[in-house]
Amino acid sequence: MPEYKVLPAGDTGLLVEFGDQVDRRLSNWVLALAARLDELQLDGIVETVPTFRSLMIYYEPLVLSAASLTRHIGALMEGLRGCDEGGRSWQLPVCYDSRVAPDLGDVAARIGLSPAQLIDRHSAVTYHVYMLGFLPGQAYLGDLPSELVLPRRETPRPKIPAGSLAIATGLTSIFPLETPCGWHLIGRSPVPFWQQRPAPCALLAPGDKVVFRPVSLREYEGLAAQAAEGSLKVMPSERWLGAAA
C-alpha cells in the first residue's frame, strides 16, 4: 500500500496526495486510484482530476461526507497496485524547424548541443502523459532526458501560437490554444490536441504514451492544412503494455 495523505480542499474537494514530486511511480498510484474510484461509481462523486502526484476528488458533501469518502479511499488503498499499463500509444508528428521553433537554437546552445542533437534527444523518448490541465486538452508529458532540463523562461511570452511544442523543467507539453507561456518553444505540432466541434474531446489521456515523429516544415504545413479543414485523423498506434518485461 502506498503512503498517502488525505487533505481537505474546501468542503467539496478532497485531495489524495502521494508525494510532492513529478514521479512516474506516484503518477501510477494516482491513475490506479482514479480507475478504482471510477469503477466504484460512488454516489456523491462529481469528478476526479489526476495530477502528477495527487488525485483531486470533487464530491457533493450533502450526499457523501468527507469522513465517509475518506473511509472509502482507505479501503481502495488496500491492495492498490500502481500499474503502468492501460494507456494508449501514440506517434505524433512534430516540426522542429527553427521557423516554428523560436527557442530551439538558444536552448541547444545553452545545453551545449547542436539543434540536430537536441531534436534527436527530444524525439527519442517514449513520454508518459502525467496529466491534462491548464488549458483544455493540454497534456503534460515526461520525463525529458536530464540534459534537456531547464527552468522556465525568466520572462513569459504574452502569446504563443496554438500547437506550440515546449519544454520546461523535466516536462514537455503542447499548448493546444493560443496562450501566454513561460516555456521554451522548440517546435510545433499540427495535431488537434483539443477539438471543440462537433464534439469536444481531448486527444490524449493521463497514462497514454507518446513518441514524437519529426517532420519537415513542408509536411507540417500539409498536415496543418488537413487539420484546419478537419480531415487530419490521428489514431493511437497500439495499446501500451508497459515497459518490456
Partner 1 sequence: MRPALRVLAPGLLTTIQDLGRPGYQRLGVPVGGALDPVSLRAANALVGNAVDTGALEIAYVGPTLAVDADDVRLSLVGASTTVEILPGENASRATRIETMRSIRLRRGQVVRIGSLSGGAVLYVAVEGGFDIEPELGSQSTYLRGALGGWQGRPLQADDRVPLVRMRASERDDCRYHGLDLKPPARFRVIAGPQSDYFSNGAIARFFDSTYTVCAGSDRMGMRLDGARLDHPCGFNITSDAIAPGSIQVPGNGQPIVLLADRQTTGGYPKIATVISADLPALGRVAIGAKISFEPVSIETAEAARRSMFAEIARLGDKIVPLAGSGDAFAPQLLHHNLVSGVVDALY
Report which residue type is found at 104.
L
Environment class of 188 (CB within 10 Å of its CB; exposed 0-12, middle 13-18, buried 19+): buried
* Stretch near partner 1 under the rule CB under 8 A, chosen from 88-96, 125-133, 155-163, 228-236: 125-133
Interface pick for partner 1 out of 61, 82, 102, 214 (rule CB under 8 A): 61
Task: Name every residue whose Cβ is closer than 8 Å to that of residue 85 and which is 6 or more positions away in sequence.
Answer: 240, 241, 242
Considering only residues 72 through 111, tell me which ones interact with partner 1, judged by CB under 8 A: none
Should residue 10 be labelled a site residue for partner 1 when binding is judged by CB under 8 A? Answer: yes
Q: Does 145 bind partner 1 (CB under 8 A)?
A: no
Which residue pairs, CB below 8 angstroms and at least 24 apart, start in 17-25? 17/53, 17/54, 18/53, 18/54, 19/53, 20/53, 21/52, 21/53, 22/52, 22/53, 22/130, 22/142, 22/143, 22/169, 22/170, 22/171, 23/52, 23/53, 24/84, 24/128, 24/142, 24/143, 25/82
CB of 203 to partner 1, least distance (A): 10
Rule CB under 8 A: say whether 114 interacts with partner 1: no
Q: Measuring CA to CA, how many Å separate 211 from each of 144, 164, 192?
A: 12, 16, 16
Q: Which of 2, 24, 42, 58 binds partner 1 (CB under 8 A)?
A: 58
Minimum CB separation of residue 108 from partner 1 in Å reads: 25
- Closest distance to partner 1 from the beta carbon of 115 (Å): 29
DSSP 201-235: EES--TT-EEEEEEE-HHHHHHHHHHHHTT-----
Q: 7 or 243: whose CB is closer to partner 1?
A: 7
Of the pair 71, 99, the CB lying nearest partner 1 is at 71
Interaction of residue 15 with partner 1, rule CB under 8 A: yes
Q: Is 35 in the site for partner 1 (CB under 8 A)?
A: no
Q: Is 168 one of the binding residues for partner 1 (CB under 8 A)?
A: no
Cβ neighbours around 115 below 10 Å, total? 18
- Minimum CB distance to partner 1 smaller for 101 or for 204: 204
Which C-beta is closer to partner 1: that of 8 or that of 161?
8
Indicate the residue among 10 and 112 with the shorter CB distance to partner 1.
10
Interacting residue ranges for partner 1, rule: CB under 8 A: 7-13, 15, 17, 20-22, 46-54, 56, 58, 60-63, 65-66, 131-138, 140, 177, 179, 194, 196, 200-202, 206
